[in-house]
Amino acid sequence: MTKYSAAIDIGASSGRLILGYLEDGLMKLDEIHRFENRIVKKGDFFCWEVDKLFQEIITGLKKCKELGIKLDSIGIDTWAVDFVLLDEADQLITEAVSYRDPRTNGMMEEVFKLIPKDELYLRTGIQFQKFNTIYQLYSIKKEQPEILEKAKSFLTIPDYFNFLLTGKKANEYTNATSTQLVNAISKTWDLDILDVIGMNKDIFQEIPPPKTILGSLKEEWVSELGADITVVLPATHDTGSAVIAVPEENETIYISSGTWSLIGTETDSPICTNKARDYNFTNEGGINDQYRFLKNIMGLWMIQEVKRVYNDQYSFADLIDLAREVKDFKAIVNVNDDRFLRPDNMVQEIINYCLETGQSVPSSPGEIAKCVFESLAESYLEAVIEIEEILEKRFEKINVIGGGCQNEILNQLIADVSNKEVYAGPVEATAIGNIAAQLMALGIIKDIKEARAIIKASFEVKQYKPSVMNYIKEGD
């Protein structure tokens, strides 16, 4: 009998319920439900609408029931770092404030006064980003200390949804590591860090690894959905799930390409060297006790915002075509500059950057798009060079996964600037990795090696080779 698993994958702009199952040794996917996700202003903060998102999860599960699909398991993944706090009655006492909210401005520097930057990196191995959970929590301590006094439970966003489904609290490992509060070696909450920044350690939960069976649905959901379903912890950090789906696992660098670009490789131990710190790499938790040694850099957020600024009159495919038509324009922006994190007008911000740096100024949608794509490729190249320098090894392949792998012009640019073969796919990497973790937890797939072999056989992966007119950096 076919076993059905549902991956509930929620990203920064949308969420989906994807049905996954094995048929003749291949993994099959069906999208059952898709819904919008957005940031809204609530009072003084930019927040996620977690109550709406949870209702969409239930709606997706009800659609499965209506279609006569008996789910054996579900697993939830979302973006990282954001969280909610619950009181002693398990009621929300915070909104789910977005990492894009400016409340963390200056908080990183405040924390460094309490614990030196070098020590924080040595303990956690986590990349310094001003929106990391540690700085969000510290901003609450500084500005709203009464909230922390009432707090009894800390849950990341997928942890919270899992709690609503099962009544069980846990801080799954891959997402917990992104908080910059987990010790990279012990893989537990770093109590010294919590003590130094004045956090109550009792609000944090146990840290189970991916492939953990959390439990069954609460009775109210069993009744409403007409079935009990096993809730499995996949890698609840969406990038952690996506990396599980990297089919070219040997000697490859991966780029999980979406709103953000996560570029890195898998390692057996954390790399907390001075060079890794200076280049701002992170050691996030992965499956099977591995580490995702990667850098979180700007991704397709920039082109998403460009599309929005042009009032959505151009599709993403249109912008790619317009960029391809531009032959004689060249300008590169630093995509990781904070000015591109949440500008009022992304197009104008790109123009301003080019003006300020004395470059050619883009004046058409095609030139803007070309600037974005070439700038992203340059940032990827820089990260690839740093990875090879830190690990003292050369990689021959780059595997681009996720929705961004459909951007053919960007894939070719990556191949050209890096002089490496680029493999693009699978597209639905996050849902695929989520489902693979569930099937491993249920014993249907034996291990990660078998999972990746199935994934490689099941989904299209396109290959891009460096162009004959290879990209040569000025001065080479």
Q: Which domains does the chain have, with CATH numbers?
A: 5-238 (3.30.420.40), 246-427+446-476 (3.30.420.40)
How many other β-carbons are positioned within 10 Å of the β-carbon of residue 379? Answer: 22
Taking alpha carbons only, the member of 224, 219, 232, 262 closest to residue 399 is 262
- pLDDT digits over 259-314, tens only? 889 999 999 999 999 999 999 999 999 999 899 999 988 889 999 999 999 999 99
Taking alpha carbons only, the member of 143, 65, 53 closest to residue 101 is 143
Q: CB-based contacts of 432: which residues, under 8 Å, 6+ apart?
A: 7, 20, 27, 29, 241, 244, 245, 426, 455, 459
Distance spanning both ends of the chain, measured CA to CA: 60
**Dihedral angle of Cα 269, 275, 279, 283, to the nearest 10 degrees:** 10
Angle at 52 between CA 66 and CA 154, to 5 degrees: 115
pLDDT score recorded for residue 475? 36
How many other β-carbons are positioned within 10 Å of the β-carbon of residue 54? Answer: 15
Helix H, strand E, coil C: the string for 201-269 is HHHCCCCCCCCEEEEECCHHHHHHHCCCCEEEECCCEHHHHHHHCCCCCCCEEEEEECCEEEEEEEECC
pLDDT score recorded for residue 476? 39
Residue ranges with strand state E in 98-179: 153-156
Taking alpha carbons only, the member of 182, 212, 207, 176 closest to residue 73 is 212
pLDDT score recorded for residue 407? 94
Phi, psi of 169 (to 5 degrees): -105, 135
Tokens of 402: 């996720």
**Contact in structure between 7 and 17 (CB atoms under 8 Å):** yes
Tokens of 474: 């000025």
Q: What is the DSSP letter of 195?
A: H
pLDDT score recorded for residue 468? 55
| Residues in the chain, pLDDT under 70 | 248-250, 468-476
pLDDT score recorded for residue 469? 47
- pLDDT digits over 357-398, tens only? 999 999 999 999 999 999 999 999 999 999 999 999 999 999
Q: Which residues are catalytic?
A: 238
Separation between Cα atoms, residue 35 and residue 37, nearest integer Å: 7
Phi, psi of 204 (to 5 degrees): -90, 145
Taking alpha carbons only, the member of 192, 214, 187, 162 closest to residue 287 is 187
The whole model's pTM is what? 0.90
